[in-house]
Amino acid sequence: LARGPVISPPHTVEGFVKAFLHELNFGQGVPLATSSQTDQYLALARTVRSYLMARWLETARKRRASQPQKMVGYLSAEYLLGRQLDNALSATELREVATDAMKACGIDIEDLRAQEVEPGLGNGGLGRLAACFIDSLATLGAPSIAYGIRYEFGIFRQTFVDGRQVEQPDAWLSSGDPWGVPHPELEVPVNFGGHTERYVGEDGRERSRWVPGWGVIGLRYNYMVPGYHNGVVNTLRLWRARATNAFDLHIFNAGDYAEAVRAQTFAENISKVLYPEDSTPQGKELRLQQQYFFVACSIKDFLTHTMPKGFDVRELPERIIFQLNDTHPVIAIPELMRILVDEHDLEWDQAWGITKQCFAYTCHTLLPEALEVWPVSLMERLLPRHMEIIYRINEEFLDDLREAYPGDELRVRRMSIIADHPERSVRMAHLATVGSVKVNGVAALHSQLLKDKVLNDFSELWPDRFTNVTNGVTPRRFIRQSNPALTGLITETIGKGWVSDLDRLAELQAYSDDPEFREKFRAVKAANKERITDVLAKRDGIQLPQGHMLDVMVKRLHEYKRQSLKMLHIVTLYDRLISGEVDPASVTPRTVVFGAKAAPGYHMAKETIFLINSIAKTVNADPRVQGRLFVAFPPNYNVTLAEKLIPAADLSEQISLAGKEASGTGNMKFALNGALTIGTDDGANVEIRELVGDENFFLFGMDEPAVAELQARGYRPGDYYESDANLKRAIDLIASGHFTDGNRDAVSAFVGDLLSNDRFLALADYASYLEAQDRVEAAYADQEEWSRKAILNVARTGFFSSDRSMRDYIDRIWHIKTNA
Ligand code: 26Y
């Protein structure tokens, strides 16, 4: 029995009630009669967790019992998970049982669902992508483990005070962590600082030894990742930092109790907070500590717990591939070298041969300022042995380069892992590229630009190392859970099975001309609009007008994403209405919804938030535009809000400057939920347009070559202002203080930057954007045609399932076998 299958609580209402009451009484320590909603939520979550746990143990048992298989270790500093309860219920087919069981206890499960605080352990796209990927890996039954950091505080909670962003801490753990399974007994020591020593071993070979200066302990927390309807439950393993006992003891013995407690806090700081920047890294020491901390814990954990005892490290490339989610975990490369050379006593060349095969690197950006570099001085202080290893990797790499390109010292310097200017520093993207089997971009255009621009020297040297894997999103969370109405319609039309085989959405194409289906499709949208109306009323006291086209722009606030261009459009629409230039009855009523957090130190982004709020306030209060134009900016856009907002959208705004958005993933979620895209030729927009067809996508703006050409010629935003009357009027209206209670100073910096700098060419694309928006209005006026387009967007975007992305990685990068 001990080796047999794990016993799960029965999948019956009675069984569930029993398990729930057990958790409530003996876990929370309260009787049902006096329990709070928090008690009930926690007991419900733990009950569901016990069902997951049974499958998790079973998945692990099967893997142990089967032949050793190559695994993937996904290394990511961020996982933007979103709420867990719904996902767990639908994956395990427990939703009905749980709903009925709660009813039997006199509880509405909806009330409990609302109690859950989402784990926001990520900034935006990159973190959400990691969450979609682990969902797909479990659904595909891929042998995998995901590693990251259990931040005590996730992405900040955004509030607005007088229209300006104010950040509040996200204490997501304060009401308990019912999904996390801690293993405090499994301590992983992680060292920092100190120095290295040279010594000669018995064999006469010279070696290096790290004598660390201090250390912390990594504590393991497991989160279960259920596959969809397949019984598989994978692991997300997040690390929390704690002070070492030895460290404490040393200070305690010195008699300074208060100092010892302070030291404890110092260690715990490492996993305290997620950095809220998602570009322009600040080079903060604590972030490097976070990176090394979780990477060291993860590799050690894999080698000592996942691999059998006494296994030969020379077999590593047949047993593991670590996927590096951007450069954040790249310190893993010298860390594995250190383990192989210093701890397993391998020769350098052999260790390097192994290490190079164990990593693959995904790049998520094209902005040069977003590429991570670490000052050599900091590295030497924090990770002296790793710095030594990086120097040697670089030396040998540069030797090879000089052989391959004799006399081309300029190229050698460009490619060096160590930069000399403006400060000696380690270029993490170069280290990642040198130490990986594959380097991939996240959409076709992005991967091409990586090869042609950002990493051009490297792609010339190693053309086969570079590849593309277009991003994807999980249809479980972003269709099935978030859009039950559409899910119902799809299933009644093409049957079951599409949720884990999204290409089957293509079968919907046949219905795009069916009036009855279109009618039902519009009813789905209308129901979702009602739902978001309720949500925003309850959540923020926002009263959305009804019967409007819903135009949505949700994403992090960034100049390159061009929320400012959307703003100019709104001002133009407003100006047309108040000037009497258009007949209000002839314009399509439109509600624009923004959602966006700005990095706390990103001044221009915060000014943009203030301006959007100012414009919203003015527009919504102006009786002349009532019923025609409305602007909503609910604060604290997060996964939970996205799940309600995206299914209600008619129009998806994807308006980044061409060549700047690596992929985008929101764009995919909107298309899959039947919104049409207005967008530039950027990131995955390119592939969306190819798939849905030109006639079902509103393209505008310069493409990447045109952008490059204009910038080479010298871009002068003032010229566009002077020559475009609409643009001039919009900017003048903002500059006049019309939206800021007459205060021109409040907008002068913003307007000044737009007119004299405009780094992301918003003014150059304004006319084209306006023209495309007018096409949108005309198209929307014909609801039958619009429905056809929207249906075709759903039917033709099954490609963007993250299941397909994961299969791509599995087949072309990882070469692992799935159990499915
Ligand atoms: C170094 C640190 C400051 C940092 C932290 C987070 C740097 C970058 C990030 C996050 C970047 C990110 O989210 N990038 C987005 O990744 C998505 C998934 O691939 C893409 O769809 C999206 O275009 C890209 O901006």
Give catalytic status of residue 62 as yes or no: no
Distance set, CA 442 to CA 108, 225, 471, 507, 540 (Å) = 42, 23, 5, 27, 35
CA dist., res. 379 & res. 37, Å (int): 48
Give 644 Cα–ligand 1 centroid separation in angstroms: 23
Take residue 122 and report the two structure tokens written for it.
Answer: 């990520």
Q: Are 237 and 301 in contact (CB under 8 A)?
A: yes
Q: What is the pLDDT of residue 420?
A: 97
Closest ligand 1 atom to 662 CA: 23
CA dist., res. 638 & res. 640, Å (int): 5
Are residues 179 and 288 part of one domain? yes
Distance set, CA 61 to CA 152, 220, 232, 509 (Å) = 31, 20, 11, 43
Q: What is the pLDDT of residue 124?
A: 98
| Nearest CA among 550, 599, 590 for reference residue 572 | 590
pLDDT mean over 458-483: 98
Catalytic residue selected from 608, 665, 680, 740: 665
Residue nearest to atom 4 of ligand 1 (CA): 278
Q: Does any domain span residue 90?
A: no
Contacts of 413 (CB under 8 A, 6+ apart): 420
In this prediction, residue 251 has a pLDDT band, given cuts at 50, 70 and 90, of low
DSSP assignments along 17-73, one per residue: HHHHHHIIIIII---GGG--HHHHHHHHHHHHHHHHHHHHHHHHHHHHHSPP--EEE
pLDDT mean over 506-510: 98
Q: What is the pLDDT of residue 265?
A: 83
Q: Are 616 and 631 in contact (CB under 8 A)?
A: yes
Q: Does any domain span residue 132?
A: yes
What domain range includes position 24?
1-67+96-110
> CB of 370 closer than 6 A to ligand 1?
yes
Give catalytic status of residue 789 as yes or no: no
CA dist., res. 225 & res. 437, Å (int): 27
Are residues 318 and 449 part of one domain? yes
pTM over 0.95: yes
CA dist., res. 666 & res. 685, Å (int): 10
> CB of 384 closer than 6 A to ligand 1?
no
Contacts of 757 (CB under 8 A, 6+ apart): 717
Give 487 Cα–ligand 1 centroid separation in angstroms: 30
For residues 604, 610, 616, 619, the Cα torsion angle rounded to the nearest 10 degrees is: -90
In this prediction, residue 248 has a pLDDT band, given cuts at 50, 70 and 90, of low
Contacts of 368 (CB under 8 A, 6+ apart): 454
How would you write 656-680 as a 3-class SS string?
Answer: CCCCCCCCCCHHHHHHHCCCEEEEC
Give catalytic status of residue 561 as yes or no: yes
Are residues 591 and 442 part of one domain? no
Catalytic residue selected from 480, 556, 569, 788: 556
In this prediction, residue 113 has a pLDDT band, given cuts at 50, 70 and 90, of very high
Give 364 Cα–ligand 1 centroid separation in angstroms: 6
Are residues 484 and 414 part of one domain? no
* Ligand 1 pocket: which of 278, 330, 557 to mutate (most atoms within 8 A of CB): 278
Closest ligand 1 atom to 684 CA: 21
Q: Does any domain span residue 282?
A: yes
Amino acid at 536: L
Are residues 209 and 188 part of one domain? yes
203 C-beta neighbours (distance < 10 Å), count:
7
Complex-level ipTM beyond the 0.95 threshold: yes
% of the chain beyond a pLDDT of 70: 98
In this prediction, residue 256 has a pLDDT band, given cuts at 50, 70 and 90, of confident
Q: Does any domain span residue 820?
A: no
Amino acid at 368: P
Are residues 702 and 676 part of one domain? yes
| Nearest CA among 95, 135, 88 for reference residue 234 | 135
Residue 785 pairs in a beta bridge with none
Give 124 Cα–ligand 1 centroid separation in angstroms: 7
Are residues 412 and 495 part of one domain? no
Give one word for 84, left, alpha or beta, with left for phi > 0 and alpha for psi -120 to 50. alpha
Q: Tell me: pLDDT of 326 over 90.
A: yes
pLDDT mean over 220-240: 98
What distance, in Å, lies between the first and last C-alpha atoms of the chain?
26
Give catalytic status of residue 364 as yes or no: yes
Give 278 Cα–ligand 1 centroid separation in angstroms: 6
Identify the DSSP state of 149: E
Residue 198 pairs in a beta bridge with 208
Q: Does any domain span residue 622?
A: yes
CA dist., res. 291 & res. 324, Å (int): 12
Strand 233-243 to 214-226 pairing = antiparallel
pLDDT mean over 448-477: 98
Question: Does an H or E element contain 610, and which?
Answer: helix 603-621
Are residues 463 and 372 part of one domain? yes
Residue nearest to atom 5 of ligand 1 (CA): 278
Take residue 649 and report the two structure tokens written for it.
Answer: 């959208």
pLDDT digits (tens, 9 = 90+) for 487-503: 999 999 999 999 999 99
> CB of 281 closer than 6 A to ligand 1?
yes
Question: HSE (CB half, 13 Å, CA atoms) of 311?
Answer: 16
Closest ligand 1 atom to 277 CA: 3
Question: Does an H or E element contain 74, and which?
Answer: strand 71-75
The phi and psi torsions of 766 (rounded to 5 degrees) equal -60, -50
* Ligand 1 pocket: which of 364, 446, 554 to mutate (most atoms within 8 A of CB): 364
Q: Does any domain span residue 88?
A: no
Q: Are 578 and 634 in contact (CB under 8 A)?
A: no
Give catalytic status of residue 327 as yes or no: no
Residue 211 pairs in a beta bridge with 195
Residue 422, preceding peptide bond in cis (omega within 30° of 0): yes
What CATH number corresponds to the domain at position 739? Answer: 3.40.50.2000
pLDDT mean over 238-256: 77
Are residues 608 and 709 part of one domain? yes
Q: What is the pLDDT of residue 354?
A: 98
Question: HSE (CB half, 13 Å, CA atoms) of 54?
Answer: 16
CA dist., res. 55 & res. 50, Å (int): 9
Q: Does any domain span residue 819?
A: no
Least confident of 198-207, 268-277, 636-645: 198-207
Are residues 435 and 535 part of one domain? no
Give 79 Cα–ligand 1 centroid separation in angstroms: 12
Q: What is the pLDDT of residue 252?
A: 66
Contacts of 623 (CB under 8 A, 6+ apart): none
| Nearest CA among 20, 158, 89 for reference residue 476 | 89
Are residues 492 and 442 part of one domain? no
Domain total of the chain: 3
Strand 214-226 to 206-211 pairing = unpaired
Residue nearest to atom 12 of ligand 1 (CA): 126
In this prediction, residue 250 has a pLDDT band, given cuts at 50, 70 and 90, of low
CA dist., res. 575 & res. 615, Å (int): 12
Q: Are 190 and 218 in contact (CB under 8 A)?
A: yes
Give 132 Cα–ligand 1 centroid separation in angstroms: 15
Give catalytic status of residue 556 as yes or no: yes
3-class DSSP state of 79? strand
Residue entry with tokens 């203030």: 610
CA dist., res. 289 & res. 141, Å (int): 33
| Nearest CA among 426, 434, 429, 431 for reference residue 376 | 426
Take residue 403 and report the two structure tokens written for it.
Answer: 């052989």
CA dist., res. 223 & res. 180, Å (int): 5
Catalytic residue selected from 555, 558, 738, 796: 555
Average pLDDT, the chain: 96
Take residue 374 and report the two structure tokens written for it.
Answer: 């670490």
Q: Are 578 and 675 in contact (CB under 8 A)?
A: no
Residue nearest to atom 22 of ligand 1 (CA): 664
Q: What is the pLDDT of residue 1?
A: 44
Question: Residues in the chain, how many?
Answer: 820
pLDDT digits (tens, 9 = 90+) for 342-351: 999 999 999 9
> CB of 277 closer than 6 A to ligand 1?
yes
Q: Does any domain span residue 766?
A: yes
| Nearest CA among 427, 434, 466 for reference residue 450 | 466
pLDDT mean over 406-425: 97
Q: What is the pLDDT of residue 245?
A: 73
pLDDT digits (tens, 9 = 90+) for 519-569: 999 999 999 999 999 999 999 999 999 999 999 999 999 999 999 999 999
The phi and psi torsions of 195 (rounded to 5 degrees) equal -150, 180
Residue 183 pairs in a beta bridge with 220
Are residues 143 and 209 part of one domain? yes
> CB of 663 closer than 6 A to ligand 1?
yes
